[in-house]
Structure 1
Amino acid sequence: MLYIVLVLVLAALGLLVAALITANSLWAWISIGLSIVAGLLLVFDWLRRRKKRAAEAGAESDSESEETDAEDSEEVEDSTPAGKSDADDEKKSEDAEQTVLMPAAGELGDADETPEPQRNGDPGEEKSDPADVAIVSELETEVVVVDEYPRYHVTSCAWLESRDTIPLGIGEARQLGFTPCALCTPDADIAGQHRDKTKADS
């Protein structure tokens, strides 16, 4: 296109020179017409190039948008199952912990039977005699608790095994909301020791 415009400009220039030399106005008008045509071709070429650039820019933008959407989709697919799986595992773990914290059927039936320790959670709650509760609530005899479990135990409790324990006074443990272990029966044990000691002192 530019080559054609250049030829037309040179032809118009040649005709203009010829018109000046021969004093013929026809050559001058033809030169003007060729110049106008060359100008129109330049404008047309500029508009065509501009439209082409806009189309290419739009195509690149669409391509980048599609790539971004594809990457976002892949990230969502990669992250969603893992997050969902973690949430499901956590919920199952909480459900399991709540289940094992419930007293076993044997504990509800007969308070005199010693329940088996539950490996995955805390043993059931001791059914303390009200008289024992009244005694131990006033004492500061040391018991132990395990973080994130609701029971308190005597230090010799078989359920403790190798778990990390926290020592507390029994009265303080009850005030904090801990309840006695059904396996080692700390209320009955400590209240009995206190009665024996009181009798011996008297």
Structure 2
Amino acid sequence: MLYIVLVLVLGALGLLVAALVTGSSLWAWISIGCSAAAALLLVVDWLRRRGKQEPAGEAAEVTTATGQGEDAGGPATEGESAAPGSDGDELDRDPDEEETDAADLLIVSELQDEVLVVDEHPRYHLEVCSWLADRDTLPISVAEARELGFTPCARCGPDGRLAAQHRSAST
């Protein structure tokens, strides 16, 4: 489609030059028509591409929302990973990021409680996290994990649990 637009634009340019050389306004109007046709094709192409991208974006949002609901359930996620035919794909994939409340984030960023990270994976975890399984882990403080760019795991929810523990210890 873009090649057709390119040909139309080059044709419009040639017709514009012809209009200037001959002094005939007919060539100028044909040039404008070619330019308008090229613009129309660009809009049609843009709408077609946008139409293809929207359903994929909506599907991703539905998948994300569904994935968060399953992660919140805990046992449902474990049951799904043990389902026949899953081949352990769920355990190989990095867990989603926990959505941390702003108040919890302020508390957690100052804590020195120990969390576990796996080298070359973006999340930090609690010891009870099912995703860790047999992976080699590195213990570091949650504040240091945050500084290094690690984010909380949605499966074990370290930010929510650590903030709740800190609040209960403070009262």
TM-score (norm 1): 0.44
1:130 aligns with 2:106: no
Q: Which runs of 4+ in 1 moved over 2 A?
A: 107-118
Q: Does 1:107 find its partner at 2:79? A: no
Structure 2 gap segments, 5+ residues each: 1-62, 79-89
1:160 aligned counterpart, secondary structure: coil
Bigger Rg over Cα: 1
Say whether the 8 Å CA contact 1:107–1:113 is kept in structure 2: no
Mapped partners of 2:67, 2:99: distance in 1: 9
* Residue 148 (structure 2) pairs with residue 187 (structure 1): no
- Could you give the per-residue CA deviations for residues 26-66 of structure 1, whole angstroms, max 9, x where no partner exists? xxxxxxxxxxxxxxxxxxxxxxxxxxxxxxxxxxxxxxxxx
Residue type at the aligned position of 2:160: A
* SS at structure 2 position matched to 1:155: coil
Aligned length: 97
Following superposition, the deviation at residue 107 of structure 1 comes to 3.0
Deviation at 1:119, TM superposition (A): 1.3
User: Cα 1:160–1:112, aligned 2, differ >3 Å: closer, same or farther?
Assistant: closer
Q: Sequence identity, in percent?
A: 49
Contact persistence 2:98–2:154 (CA under 8 A): yes
1:111 touches 1:127 (CA, 8 Å); kept in 2? no
Output one character per residue of 1:133-163: Cα deviation in whole Å (capped at 9) or x when no partner.
Answer: 1100011100000011100000111111111
**Cα separation, 2, equivalents of 1:188 and 1:149:** 20
Q: Provide the C-alpha distance between the structure 2 equivalents of 1:104 and 1:171, rounded to a whole number of angstroms.
A: 27
Higher relative contact order (CA 8 A, sep 6+): 2
Q: Which residue of 1 aligns with 2:8?
A: none
Q: Does 1:161 align with 2:121?
A: no
Structure 1 stretches lacking a partner, 5+ long: 1-102
Checking the alignment, whether the CA contact within 8 Å between 2:109 and 2:146 is kept in structure 1 is yes
SS of residue in 1 equivalent to 2:77: coil
Q: What does residue 21 of structure 1 align with?
A: none
RMSD value, Cα: 2.2
